[in-house]
């Protein structure tokens, strides 16, 4: 790591005698993060002098850089179509996730469709160099955006509606798609933006990859709902080719794999996450990924004894022995992290202690590239396992009703001698290269005052140093995105735009058309404002004639309940087609507009309906993840 220029102490006296001129950051610079320049206050270097509000760290340039092993890892995802056996082709490098083409006697089967239609059209162009047969089927291996959002790069909605093309998936995929985007969409969008570093400038993306694939590309998110689904397994013939489908929950609850018995090819989806330690937990946030279930799924894959394995991230694996080795080593790594975490949990260790105790043994940690920590890490997996079994409470009752964060920070800073001493210690830690401690100390001052420029600068610079050194892409992206937030580049409208843009990948307008009325109305339950509804007891019925469904939302003094069907005696009703609801969900129309134009039939007192609708909070507000 690069440290500050060693002449800073010698220059301190000179800098104390007169103000330094600030060096502005050129916002039009093609590499804005190449220069992080601020006024230097020598007061930081003199413990006996108070730190003024405008104090700053010494001038320095933090050059964007990348961990050498992570940079080398990028070569793994060079654009290339790999041929496997006689009729399977894997396109690596165009999308975050691979797309696989299976050439069957009567047509083509495409497995997973990438994150955007634009990129997937490029993949189809490559596939068309190999075969001009018609596409007969699409397979979604699971619901994550990088596996389904590019579907219209391969087929059209008309082809699917006519039956020319069938889309296969596990039966819960559609529910997972809409629940993910509708229920926790705002916070998931923001956190995903940080995990994938979507706002980072080009300088921070140079030579980078996404751990399990190339960096994702911007583009249009498309979606067509599955036409054929199954629960546990499906043995069938598609376009004249025998295929076995198997549900193997692991990285996703609806994960499925395909086995081609004719040439012993296993398309392993993301049960193996390709050339990286699997993400047993994802920092963006997800429901508990049970390592025991994941290990069992890997053992099911081993039972195929396949000659070839085609993961949906990274390069294919050839040879029965090599396939077994990769599956076994991946299985053993996940099992080891789980088993040793549980072992030490049962000795009373807490998460902060467990992460220091549980480490992969050398033969697993060094299994390159499949178990290197480019995407998942042992440390953040251990914490999820603890919480999955025991929840947030670690056993010390001090955590049952802790001192509120701002009050705690205020007391600690006062006890440590005040802001000046805390930031002096933080600055000194930074200058010594102790970036974690510098960030932690600065965080106390920020908790008290979000506008403390010096504290934010110390923490931001510390995060840049930690991020550029990290081999793990999730950690790197969180460090650098958080640094941008601390520097004022991801606040307010910028934060809101980021959340909304990323959320579109999880619930695009085309996905919204598949949103059941139940899911739409269920989302209202979590939007109820208890203060506005404290004295309200009203029920509003929703009638959808075109799909023959009726639902009702009851507001009961701060609580909302969704009813299937409309309770007897309900006087407030809105009647409109589900097709109109789709336009409401997409933002094209509104309920009030529909009532005025006749698209929505209103029964009951309009003032009561207005009171009912006023009980809900649909405002989208910027989310700060670091400035807390």
Residue 619 confidence (pLDDT): 83
| Cα atoms in the Cβ-side hemisphere of radius 13 Å centred on 183 | 13
Angle among Cα 73, 208, 268 to the nearest 5 degrees reads: 55
Structure tokens at 152: 């219209």
Q: Is the pLDDT of residue 34 over 90?
A: no
Please state, in angstroms and rounded to a whole number, the distance separating the CA atoms of residues 211 and 391: 29
Tell me the pLDDT band of 20, cut-offs 50, 70 and 90. very low
Mean pLDDT of 144-156: 96
Residue 399 DSSP label = G
Query: How many CB atoms neighbour CB 36 within 10 A?
Result: 20
Residue 429 confidence (pLDDT): 95
Residue 543: strand, helix, or coil: strand
Domains for the chain: give ranges and CATH numbers. Answer: 70-390 (3.60.15.30), 516-613 (3.30.1050.10)
Tell me the pLDDT band of 145, cut-offs 50, 70 and 90. very high
Of 50 and 208, the one with more pLDDT: 208
Name which of 513, 548, 550 is nearest 178 in CA terms: 513
Residue 515: strand, helix, or coil: coil
Structure tokens at 174: 């559609």
Distances from the Cα of 119 to the Cαs of 122, 146, 152, 155, 378, in angstroms? 5, 11, 10, 13, 33
520 CB-near residues (< 8 Å, 6+ apart): 182, 581, 585
Strand partners, 318: 308
pTM exceeds 0.85: yes
Q: Is the pLDDT of residue 416 over 60?
A: yes
Helix axes 173-183, 493-506, angle to 10 degrees: 170
Please state, in angstroms and rounded to a whole number, the distance separating the CA atoms of residues 89 and 76: 17
Structure tokens at 592: 């009030």
Mean pLDDT of 12-37: 32
Average pLDDT score, the chain: 89
Residue 141 DSSP label = S
Strands 308-311 and 265-269: what pairing? parallel
Asked whether the bond before 369 is cis by omega within 30 degrees of 0, the reply is: yes
pLDDT (tens digit per residue) in 121-141: 999 999 999 999 999 999 999
Structure tokens at 423: 């930031």
Query: How many CB atoms neighbour CB 389 within 10 A?
Result: 12
Query: How many CB atoms neighbour CB 565 within 10 A?
Result: 11
| Cα atoms in the Cβ-side hemisphere of radius 13 Å centred on 161 | 3
Angle among Cα 528, 533, 535 to the nearest 5 degrees reads: 160
Q: Torsion-angle region of residue 207: left (phi > 0), alpha (psi -120 to 50) or beta? A: left
Please state, in angstroms and rounded to a whole number, the distance separating the CA atoms of residues 499 and 247: 32
Please state, in angstroms and rounded to a whole number, the distance separating the CA atoms of residues 584 and 579: 9
Residue 196: strand, helix, or coil: coil
Residue 79 confidence (pLDDT): 97
pLDDT (tens digit per residue) in 557-607: 999 999 999 999 999 999 999 989 888 877 788 888 888 889 999 999 989
Please state, in angstroms and rounded to a whole number, the distance separating the CA atoms of residues 209 and 274: 13
CB 412 within 8 A of CB 444: yes
């Amino acid at each position: 790591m690069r440290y500050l220029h060693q002449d800073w102490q010698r220059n301190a006296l000179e800098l104390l005698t007169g103000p330094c001129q600030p060096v502005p950051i050129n916002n039009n610079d093609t590499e804005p993060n190449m220069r992080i320049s601020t006024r230097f206050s020598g007061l930081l270097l003199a413990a006996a002098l108070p730190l003024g509000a405008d104090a700053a760290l010494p001038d320095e340039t933090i050059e964007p850089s990348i961990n050498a092993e992570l940079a080398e890892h990028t070569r793994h995802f060079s654009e290339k179509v790999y041929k496997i056996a006689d009729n399977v082709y894997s396109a690596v490098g165009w999308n975050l996730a691979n797309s696989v083409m299976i050439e069957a006697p009567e047509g083509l089967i495409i497995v997973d469709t990438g994150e955007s239609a634009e990129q997937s059209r490029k993949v189809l162009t490559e596939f068309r160099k190999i075969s001009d047969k018609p596409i007969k089927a699409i397979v979604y291996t699971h619901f994550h955006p990088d596996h389904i959002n590019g579907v219209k790069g391969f087929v059209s909605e008309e082809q699917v509606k006519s039956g020319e093309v069938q889309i296969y998936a596990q039966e819960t995929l559609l529910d997972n798609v809409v629940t993910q985007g509708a229920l926790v969409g705002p916070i998931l969008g923001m956190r995903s933006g940080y995990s994938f570093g979507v706002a980072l400038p080009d300088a921070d993306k140079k030579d980078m990859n996404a751990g399990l694939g190339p960096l994702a590309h911007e583009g249009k998110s498309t979606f067509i709902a599955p036409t054929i689904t199954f629960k546990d397994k499906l043995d069938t013939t598609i376009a004249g080719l025998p295929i076995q489908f198997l549900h193997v929950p692991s990285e996703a609850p609806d994960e499925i794999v395909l086995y081609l018995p004719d040439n012993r090819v296993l398309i392993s989806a993301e049960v193996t996450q390709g050339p990286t330690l699997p993400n047993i937990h994802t920092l963006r946030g997800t429901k508990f990924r049970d390592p025991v279930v994941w290990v069992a799924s890997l053992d099911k894959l081993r039972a195929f004894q396949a000659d070839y394995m085609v993961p949906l991230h990274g390069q294919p694996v050839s040879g029965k022995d090599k396939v077994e080795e990769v599956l076994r080593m991946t299985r053993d790594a996940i099992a080891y992290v789980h088993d040793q975490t549980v072992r030490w949990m049962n000795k009373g260790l807490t998460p902060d202690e467990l992460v220091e105790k549980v480490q992969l043994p050398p033969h697993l940690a060094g299994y390159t590239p499949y178990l290197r920590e480019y995407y998942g890490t042992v440390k953040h997996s251990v914490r999820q396992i603890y919480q999955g079994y025991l929840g947030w409470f670690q056993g010390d009752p001090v955590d049952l009703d802790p001192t509120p964060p701002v009050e705690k920070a205020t007391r600690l800073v006062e006890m440590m001698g005040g802001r000046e001493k805390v930031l002096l210690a933080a600055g000194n830690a930074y200058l010594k290269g102790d970036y974690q401690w510098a960030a932690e100390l600065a965080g106390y001052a920020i908790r008290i005052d979000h506008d403390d420029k010096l504290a934010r600068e110390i923490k931001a610079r510390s995060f840049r140093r930690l991020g550029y050194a990290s081999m793990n892409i999730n950690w790197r992206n969180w460090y650098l995105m958080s640094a941008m937030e601390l520097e004022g580049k991801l606040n307010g409208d910028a934060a809101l735009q980021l959340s909304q843009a990323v959320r579109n990948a999880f619930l695009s307008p085309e996905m919204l058309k598949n949103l059941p009325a139940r899911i739409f109305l269920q989302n209202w339950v979590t939007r109820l404002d208890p203060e506005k509804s404290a004295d309200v007891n009203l029920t509003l019925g929703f009638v959808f004639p075109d799909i023959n469904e009726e639902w009702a939302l009851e507001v009961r003094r701060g609580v909302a309940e969704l009813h299937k069907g409309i309770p007897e005696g309900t006087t407030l009703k809105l009647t409109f087609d589900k097709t109109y609801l789709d336009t409401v969900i997409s933002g094209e129309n509104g309920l009030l507009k529909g009532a005025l134009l006749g698209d929505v039939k209103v029964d009951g007192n309009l003032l009561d309906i207005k009171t009912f609708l006023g009980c809900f909070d649909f405002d989208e507000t910027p989310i700060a993840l670091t400035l807390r």
